[in-house]
Amino acid sequence: MPEIREGEVGLVLGSTTSTTQEFRVVLHEDEYLQLDDLVVVRTHVPKIGEVATYGIVTEVEAEYEGTQFASDTRRVAVDGTLPAEKSRTAVVQVVRVLPELWVAPDSGQPVLRATGAERERALYVDEMGSGGVSRALPVGLTRDDEPVWADVDFFDGTKGAHMSISGVSGVATKTSYALFFLRCLTSHPEILGKSAKNLRVLIFNVKGEDLMFLDKPNRNLGDEARSKWTRLGIEPAPFPSVSFWAPESGREGIPRSGARMEGVQAYRWTPREFVDRNLLPLLFTDAQDVRQQLTFVGERVARQLRRWANDVAGEEGALVLRDPFVTGEDPPGPVVAKPGERVVRNLHDLVEAIGEYLEPENGLEEADQRWTGRAAGGTVSAFMRRLYGAVPRVGDLVRAGPSRLVDRTREAVTVVDIHQLHEAAQRFVVGALIQEVHDEKEGRGRFPLSVIVLDELNKYAPRDGWSPIRDTLVDIAQRGRSLGVILIGAQQSASRVDPDVLSNASLRVSGRLDAAEAERAEYGWMLPSTRARARLLKPGTMVLSQPAIPAPTMLTFPYPPWATRPEEAAPEADPFEGL
């Protein structure tokens, strides 16, 4: 037997053709290849010299060579009457040819496992970055704990932006991966360079209290997970800089949060902020609202509110509505409410005040055309009904008093809790904050970068229907690269998300998919074998597609060093100790 080279696992199969896309490997008896393994083959090309073909294993096969009938297996394996040879082969998808000369690897050439520098070349790590500065960010591990890299150029807006994460819910991988990715992002300033400076992340806590302990160590973190984090070049510690925000409970400054009270700030908008920031349209985000032309009325009313609103002296954030034609002569600044004049101190007051113009109570007066435009009476009534309907759902979020806006500049990561809010209120908060990030960056250049993590993207940017949030998200998806606003969107099914939002994401990640979902065109970036496996992925395993590598990469990510539940938060020193 001729000697087998170190690292050689088999030979390029010669009984079927090799192509520039795919070839097969017949494995040596005491070697193996598994899915996602990386291999390299060297082929001598006439007139050129040696060409290295790098590939990724997409399927592994075994059979008895020389058997014809299904029953032959028994003759070979049980009866021991039929001689046959066990043959094991692997199917390899070509990912790179160096130098770039597109020839098929020669049959019979030795196939080597790609390790070390060869592995990095197979994953295009040498091409990530320019001018000697690497932009390869570790974003996961392979099954054998080797790092997988992503080209940050395709995330921070240099060449592309945004990340889209898909996967069935309940496996808890989408948000987990988003957080893991953020941790990688914020832990490698040397790779991020300019993008790392003052990087701000906005993330919403939608379900349970998963994200309310990002700054607390996880007591369940084991040594194995620790070493995995270390392999990624990241210290296994919770997020160092996080601020937590929960909706105000109705009592001044007291947040309505669950298990965690300490370190959580209350947020709400004053009527003045509500009007100035044009938040009224965000109360009309239901798909039905568009059909009924309510958004049209809403826009007009919002415009009028901005013109008619006057601050009230001595009451921070409160308003009175006055006709600007009448008050035009008044000095600017807060006014004193006249007796009997309605002072708007919360959403209910505001709705009532609007109602005075749109649906006069006594029923004799006509609706004020300056407020309704030419909308039909029915539409105006529907608008008012919807507005009244919003009061109990969103009401607590709008109240006069000292400003309690979410301050995203306080820490690197801002967690906004919305999990206890009604869905309409969730949409309101998300819409308001995304709009805020968007407007703030408009015309200010890319840096510092703002990252928005948004789960259930299909709710905010659905494929069908329109909403003001969807508008903003589409704009971020399309122009976010230059705005410096990066979206990490997650959804159960990409097929239900606006295609503009999806197609602008340079990095695509998928966890386990529903079988029918996996077959949809939105997952065309997966190989057929990847699609088949996407139904079976375990929590903690994802598929990553990035423009820098022509084949999707399977990766795992380690257990988080931050707590995701109150029980996981490591106990702090007992305050009653010694008493």
Residues that bind other proteins (CB under 8 A): 66, 69, 71, 75-84
Whose Cβ is closer to other proteins: residue 73's or residue 478's? 73
Whose Cβ is closer to other proteins: residue 1's or residue 573's? 1
Whose Cβ is closer to other proteins: residue 66's or residue 240's? 66
Whose Cβ is closer to other proteins: residue 81's or residue 362's? 81
Is 565 buried (19+), middle (13-18) or exposed (0-12) by CB count in 10 A?
middle
Task: Sort strands 264-267 and 242-247 into parallel, antiparallel or unpaired.
Answer: parallel
Phi/psi at 562 (5° precision): -105, 155
Whose Cβ is closer to other proteins: residue 13's or residue 424's? 13
Query: Least distance to other proteins from the beta carbon of 81, Å?
Result: 4
157 - beta bridge partners?
none
Instruction: Decide: helix, strand or coil at residue 85.
Output: strand
Query: Least distance to other proteins from the beta carbon of 207, Å?
Result: 54
Whose Cβ is closer to other proteins: residue 80's or residue 571's? 80
Whose Cβ is closer to other proteins: residue 78's or residue 573's? 78
DSSP code at position 523: G
Query: Least distance to other proteins from the beta carbon of 44, Å?
Result: 18
Tokens of 362: 């006594």
Whose Cβ is closer to other proteins: residue 70's or residue 573's? 70
Query: Least distance to other proteins from the beta carbon of 66, Å?
Result: 6
Task: Sort strands 136-141 and 8-12 into parallel, antiparallel or unpaired.
Answer: unpaired
What distance in Å separates the CA atoms of residue 314 and residue 336, rounded to the nearest whole number?
8
Tokens of 321: 């509505």
What distance in Å separates the CA atoms of residue 399 and residue 347, rounded to the nearest whole number?
7
Residue 128 near residue 151, CB atoms below 8 Å: yes
Residue 430 near residue 453, CB atoms below 8 Å: no
Helix (H) or strand (E) holding 203: strand 200-205
Q: Quick one: CA dihedral 368, 372, 373, 376, positive or negative?
A: negative
161 - beta bridge partners?
156, 505
Is 273 buried (19+), middle (13-18) or exposed (0-12) by CB count in 10 A?
middle
CA nearest 452: which of 513, 403, 501? 501
Q: 419-435 burial by CB neighbour count: b if 16+ within 10 A, else e?
A: bebeebbbbbbbbbbbb
Whose Cβ is closer to other proteins: residue 85's or residue 252's? 85
What distance in Å separates the CA atoms of residue 22 and residue 31, rounded to the nearest whole number?
20
Whose Cβ is closer to other proteins: residue 13's or residue 526's? 13
Query: Least distance to other proteins from the beta carbon of 87, Å?
Result: 13
What distance in Å separates the CA atoms of residue 391 and residue 346, rounded to the nearest whole number?
9
